[in-house]
Amino acid sequence: MSAAITKLQAAKRELNQTPQATYLYNDRTANVGYQDYFDESKSIAAIAVIFPGFFLFIAVLITFTTISRMIEKNRREIGLMRALGYTKGFISMKYVIYSILAGVLGSVAGGVFGALTLPKFIFSMLSNNNLNQYQGVIPWAFIIEAIIAGLIATLGSATVVLIINLREKPTELMRERAPKAGKRILLERIKPLWNRMNFNQKVSYRNLFRYKTRMMMTIVGIAGCTGLMLAGFGIRDSVNDLVPDQFNQVQHYQGVVTLSSSNKHIHDKNIDAQLPAMVQSITVSPTKGTKRNATVTMVAPKSTTRFSKYVTLTNSKSGQSEKLTDEGVIITEKLATDMAAKKGSVLSAKLGNKLFKVRVAGITKNYAGHYLYLTPKYFNQVATTRYTPTARLLKLKQESAAQRHTTSRNLLKQSGVLNVTYPRYASSSLGTVGLSSVVLIFIALSAALGLVVLYNLTNVNISERMRELSTIKVLGFYDNEVTAYVARENVVLTLAGIVFGWFIGLILHHFIMIKAQTGAILFPLTIHYPGYIWSAVLTACFSLIVGVITHYKLKNIDMLDSLSSSE
């Protein structure tokens, strides 16, 4: 009995000696998987603001052309009804109802179908072990906006064309519109070039400027689709270049070793060079204005002369080299943007429970992560603790996965080594993996829209010039010559649209990538030459496909019906 009491008392004493538990409260932003998903979602949201707007603009352009052409084809019918005494309102009702049904049904069907398919597909690309259950909703507010835009395109175009046509007299409406007269063009003034052209080429170039509205609409439509594709390729390039640019242009070390003692020496046959440094995670906030905190990696190298071999500090505006001085700290560009800081600004920094203030002496280019660089002397001036280099920046001889693993294992066996990390190869946490895949969707949709634009505008071109094309067939033009007569114009318009589209794509890409910068990510604004080539090749291929379809349509033109009197 006494033995049991003794054990109980011993257990009680041991329990009393147990240190009091410490509880940590973290919100969901502390979860790495959630934060990655959140950052990717914000980047995609930035893209989603721009792409639908351009898609909608091109769709409005095509819809306006289609509705306008439909009403123009029914001019004789409208004139006949006017002559029989029907009111303008009654005549317009047919086209108004058609436009409303097309706008509403098309917007609702497209909006619901898109809401049920694309978000789920994109979520599957971004999902991870922490977030894997999709909760779909139909955004009726956006669908209503799409309906309004669709009605503006269909009903608006119908209203404009009806107002123009209904102002004419019934007798004028029942006649075919006179073909537009040809005029001398600027190209004719360049005699050496103009004189070298054959008859068909001269006719094609005159026709381009003869139908100025159609020419401008075709160029704008093709340019919009080419620009969307180029912007998509550019977004992919910027995302893919993020890691290489960060670790080739900015950071040249491969590993970071955290030590328990500042004097600890580490060794491994795979280490080519090492630099003692103080590497700490701190919290930075502006001293004035909005209180916004950012988690920043503070790096204070023991040797500032050797530091340039490990990190390249480049002024974000001038592109010139920055050097660490004892006058202040150098912060990365995205951190400066988030803190609304510039050279001379003062920031608050918190290391553990110690708070100190630092002066910004320079801003350096950086793509991934927030960094703050300073000298040991300046750290001792502003901080309450003494400078202690408890880390080593490593440059490795071999960087293969197997060799890195072996190096880490050898270093962790040495006393005083707490941790070994390889920032470049932990870059999957940068939150850009899913974004690159999602961009392919927008490229594919842009390409499909380009095909629709070319097909629609070519159809309008043929229907508007049916009598003209029938006439040249009667005059003895072969089918291939008739096709070349139309295709030559499309080739010129396609080339002009591609060049104009490259400029649109450049502007669009820069705007999207600036808006897509979230967290500690600063995307490089780069578009590689394959993006220009592929956007042009895809547009040219669609033009070729439409040309083949056009050829068979032109072969089947009924010359007698087209040339019969319309009086």
Contacts with 51 (C-beta within 8 Å, 6 or more apart), sequence order:
228, 442, 445, 446
- Radius of gyration, alpha carbons of the chain: 34
Q: Are strands 354-364 and 329-332 parallel, antiparallel or unpaired?
A: parallel
How many whole angstroms separate alpha carbon 325 and alpha carbon 374?
A: 7
How many whole angstroms separate alpha carbon 23 and alpha carbon 490?
A: 71
Do 43 and 516 meet the contact criterion of CB atoms below 8 Å apart?
A: yes
- Side-chain-side CA neighbours of residue 128 (13 Å): 17
What is the 8-class DSSP label of residue 428? Answer: G
Q: How many residues make up the chain in this entry?
A: 567
The reported pTM is 0.76
**Pick from 63, 94, 73, 55: nearest CA to 157:** 63
Do 432 and 42 meet the contact criterion of CB atoms below 8 Å apart?
A: no
- φ, ψ at 361 (rounded to 5°): -100, -15
CA distances for 121 relative to 116, 117, 137, 235, 541, angstroms: 9, 6, 14, 19, 28
Please tell me whether residue 321 adopts helix, strand or coil conformation.
Answer: strand
Angle ∠(63,69,75) on CA atoms, nearest 5: 140
**Pick from 566, 552, 560, 535: nearest CA to 459:** 552
How many whole angstroms separate alpha carbon 130 and alpha carbon 531?
A: 34
**Pick from 291, 272, 274, 275: nearest CA to 283:** 291
Contacts with 496 (C-beta within 8 Å, 6 or more apart), sequence order:
219, 222
Please tell me whether residue 267 adopts helix, strand or coil conformation.
Answer: coil
Task: Give per-residue pLDDT as tens, 468-526.
Answer: 777 888 877 888 888 888 888 888 888 999 999 999 999 988 888 887 777 677 888 88
Tokens encoding 113: 């179908």
Contacts with 361 (C-beta within 8 Å, 6 or more apart), sequence order:
325, 327, 328, 329, 330, 343
Give strand pairing partners of 426: none
Tokens encoding 303: 């040797």
Q: How many CB atoms lie within 10 A of CB 418?
A: 13
CA distances for 394 relative to 202, 273, 311, angstroms: 68, 6, 12
Give strand pairing partners of 358: 347
Residue 378: the pLDDT is 92
Angle ∠(200,203,207) on CA atoms, nearest 5: 140
What kind and span of H or E run contains 118?
A: helix 88-126
**Pick from 236, 239, 177: nearest CA to 211:** 177
Do 385 and 349 meet the contact criterion of CB atoms below 8 Å apart?
A: no
What is the 8-class DSSP label of residue 186? Answer: G
Contacts with 537 (C-beta within 8 Å, 6 or more apart), sequence order:
none
Angle ∠(494,496,497) on CA atoms, nearest 5: 60
Give strand pairing partners of 21: none
Give strand pairing partners of 368: 521
Q: Which amino acid is at 497?
A: G
Cα torsion 310, 316, 321, 326: sign:
negative
Which parts of the chain sit beneath pLDDT 70? 1-47, 49, 125-132, 134, 178-183, 262-264, 289-291, 426-438, 519, 559-567
Do 498 and 536 meet the contact criterion of CB atoms below 8 Å apart?
A: yes
Q: How many CB atoms lie within 10 A of CB 223?
A: 23
How many whole angstroms separate alpha carbon 138 and alpha carbon 525?
A: 34
Tokens encoding 499: 């060049």
Please tell me whether residue 364 adopts helix, strand or coil conformation.
Answer: strand
**Pick from 368, 382, 366, 290: nearest CA to 329:** 382
List for the chain the helix, strand, coil content (%; round to 5). Answer: 60, 15, 25
Do 60 and 152 meet the contact criterion of CB atoms below 8 Å apart?
A: yes
Tokens encoding 68: 């306008």
Tokens encoding 90: 């009654």
